[in-house]
């Protein structure tokens, strides 16, 4: 790595020794560097599956550790793209990025040989820009409500249907657990740090109150509306009451840490938290329930933000053929199945939702199937290259409300003006 990237404290690890390529029938051994995430079990799976491919193909793989936050990962990749860096061959692509980094990715159509047809069409469409298949779907994500089954039973409360119900249930359990001696116990933990994860949570809150999606499909800025005000007021009411003040600095892993240690009644998180929450070292193993996120009031709707990751080949790679082969292996049904069973990563291949081993490991993949297929996309397609700016303005405006710096009314009004500036005449 050059020093330009040293602030990200990246680790580069060689994990496979090249074997004789003659056996694999390939012309020359290449060294392929792949970015591996660091949330939950991301890194271990990356290591295992790339090593399998290296063994099969005769190529060598190097792992390039990327930061936890998608916001930091995008900043890093943008620096690398600007430098036309060949340091990375295969990269992770957040579902909101294809339109943002489209100029730096290889068209995978000639390598996929139609394999994308097995994947959810909406994700393939998301990853296809100007007729080019820029990334293969790897796993999909949707926001979920995790709860402690044992504590709901103990306090005689139901899994909440609305945010109002959640607030009341969280308060009751928190009061009870604190009175019983656990001073650190929290009612609800979620993602409220100023980063992309807060955009995901806040899109859920606003959409659940039927307050739209920041920018609609036509590109109109819709975020300054009374339902959005209601949603942000509700979320702000949690901070310092049923959620710790520190939630203003929580991303996914901080929330999971508190919940998995047995210190929260409810948590908003992605599916990956299921497998870890039921892991051998989890204090809440076997005590977790999963439900759709609550509605915004009785007239509201359930809303889960669509997340997920793809794999792509950098245009600056010197070994695009081998890199694309690795992408096809990593996104194959075989690898997706193992990741689903052992890591509760949602496959992007519909057929795997009927697989009995996948369903046995993750019963909610079946019972909440609709949550995954009807998840709300962030307005990345409508805002194209400007999405990162739109999202940053939105999470900052939301963070100001949650931290008590601004009222929901003022903050959304200011946000609307800011988004108009970002849009100018068109996205």
CB of 57 to ligand GLC, least distance (A): 28
Q: Is residue 76 part of the contact set for ligand GLC (CB under 6 A)?
A: no
Going edge to edge, which strands form the sheet with 288-291? 186-189, 264-269, 144-148, 288-291
Q: Is residue 190 part of the contact set for ligand GLC (CB under 6 A)?
A: no
**Which of 18/67 has CB closer to ligand GLC?**
67
CB of 425 to ligand GLC, least distance (A): 28
**Which of 244/308 has CB closer to ligand GLC?**
308
User: Which residues, other chains included, contact 44 with Cβ-Cβ below 8 Å and sequence gap of 6+?
Assistant: none
Residue 210: how many CB atoms within 10 A of its CB?
18
Q: Is residue 70 part of the contact set for ligand GLC (CB under 6 A)?
A: yes
Interface of this chain with ligand GLC, residues 325 to 384, rule: CB under 6 A: none
Among 147, 190, 270, 353, binds ligand GLC (CB under 6 A): 270
Q: Is residue 120 part of the contact set for ligand GLC (CB under 6 A)?
A: no
Helix axes 226-238, 387-402, angle to 10 degrees: 60
Q: What pairs with residue 35 in β-bridges?
A: 64
Q: Is residue 307 part of the contact set for ligand GLC (CB under 6 A)?
A: yes
The torsion defined by the Cα of 260, 191, 38 and 3, in degrees rounded to 10, comes to -140
**Which of 123/242 has CB closer to ligand GLC?**
123
Q: Give the single-character DSSP code of 284.
A: T
CB of 40 to ligand GLC, least distance (A): 10
Show contacts of 99-103: CB within 8 Å, 24+ apart.
99/129, 99/380, 99/381, 99/384, 99/385, 99/387, 100/74, 100/380, 100/384, 100/385, 100/387, 100/388, 101/74, 101/77, 102/129, 102/130, 102/132, 102/134, 103/315
**Which of 70/396 has CB closer to ligand GLC?**
70
8 A C-beta contact, residue 176 and residue 186: no
CB of 329 to ligand GLC, least distance (A): 21
CB of 193 to ligand GLC, least distance (A): 9
**Which of 57/127 has CB closer to ligand GLC?**
127
Binding flags for ligand GLC, 77-96, as an x/- string (CB under 6 A): -----------------xxx
Binding flags for ligand GLC, 131-160, as an x/- string (CB under 6 A): ----------x-------------------
**Which of 200/340 has CB closer to ligand GLC?**
200
Q: Is residue 308 part of the contact set for ligand GLC (CB under 6 A)?
A: yes
The alpha carbons of the chain give a radius of gyration, in whole angstroms, of 22
Q: Is residue 197 part of the contact set for ligand GLC (CB under 6 A)?
A: yes
CB of 308 to ligand GLC, least distance (A): 5
The widest CA-to-CA distance across the chain, in whole angstroms, is 69
CB of 298 to ligand GLC, least distance (A): 29
End-to-end CA distance of the chain, in Å? 35
Cα-based distances in Å from 101 to 80, 95, 119, 146, 405: 11, 11, 22, 33, 33
Q: Is residue 201 part of the contact set for ligand GLC (CB under 6 A)?
A: no
Residue nearest to ligand GLC (CB): 307
Q: Select from 107, 111, 89 the least CA-distant residue to 30.
A: 89
Tokens of 32: 């392929």
Chain residues that interact with ligand GLC, rule: CB under 6 A: 70, 94-96, 141, 196-197, 200, 252, 270, 307-309
């Amino acid at each position: 790595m050059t020093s330009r990237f040293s602030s990200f404290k990246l680790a580069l690890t060689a994990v496979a020794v090249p074997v004789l390529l003659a056996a694999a029938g390939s012309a020359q051994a290449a060294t392929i560097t792949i970015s591996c995430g660091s949330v939950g079990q991301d890194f271990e799976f990356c290591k295992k599956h790339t090593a399998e491919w290296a063994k099969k193909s005769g190529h060598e793989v190097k792992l390039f550790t990327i930061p936890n936050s998608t916001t930091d990962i995008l900043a890093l990749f943008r620096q690398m793209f600007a430098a036309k860096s060949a340091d990375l061959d295969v990269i992770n692509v957040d579902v909101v990025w294809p339109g943002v980094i489209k100029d730096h990715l290889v068209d995978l159509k000639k390598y996929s040989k139609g394999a994308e047809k097995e994947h959810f069409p909406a994700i393939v469409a998301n990853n296809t820009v100007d007729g080019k298949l820029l990334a293969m779907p790897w796993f999909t994500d949707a926001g979920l409500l995790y709860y402690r089954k044992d504590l709901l039973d103990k306090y005689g409360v139901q899994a909440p249907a609305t945010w109002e119900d959640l607030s009341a249930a969280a308060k009751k359990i928190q009061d009870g657990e604190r009175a019983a001696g656990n001073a650190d116990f929290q009612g609800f933990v979620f993602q409220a740090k100023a980063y992309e994860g807060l955009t995901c949570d806040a899109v859920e809150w606003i959409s659940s109150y039927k307050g739209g999606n920041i920018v609609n499909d036509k590109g109109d800025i819709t975020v300054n509306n009374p339902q959005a005000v209601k949603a942000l007021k509700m979320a702000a009411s949690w901070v310092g009451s049923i959620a710790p003040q520190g939630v203003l600095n929580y991303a996914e892993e901080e929330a999971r840490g508190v919940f998995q240690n047995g210190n929260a009644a409810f948590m908003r998180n992605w599916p990956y938290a299921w497998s870890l929450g039921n892991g051998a070292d989890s204090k809440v193993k076997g005590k977790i329930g999963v439900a759709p996120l609550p509605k915004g009031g009785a007239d509201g709707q359930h809303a889960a933000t669509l997340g997920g990751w793809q794999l792509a080949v950098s245009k600056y790679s010197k070994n695009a053929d081998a890199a694309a082969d690795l992408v096809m292996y990593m996104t194959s049904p075989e690898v997706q199945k193992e990741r689903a069973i052992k890591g509760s990563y949602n496959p992007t291949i519909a057929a795997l939702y009927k697989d009995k081993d996948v369903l046995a490991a993750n019963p909610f993949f079946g019972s909440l199937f609709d949550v995954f297929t009807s998840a709300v996309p962030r307005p990345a397609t409508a805002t194209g290259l400007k999405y990162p700016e739109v999202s940053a303005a939105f999470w900052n405006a939301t963070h100001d409300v949650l931290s008590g710096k601004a009222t929901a009314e003022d903050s959304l009004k200011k946000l609307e003006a800011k988004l108009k500036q970002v849009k100018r005449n068109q996205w």
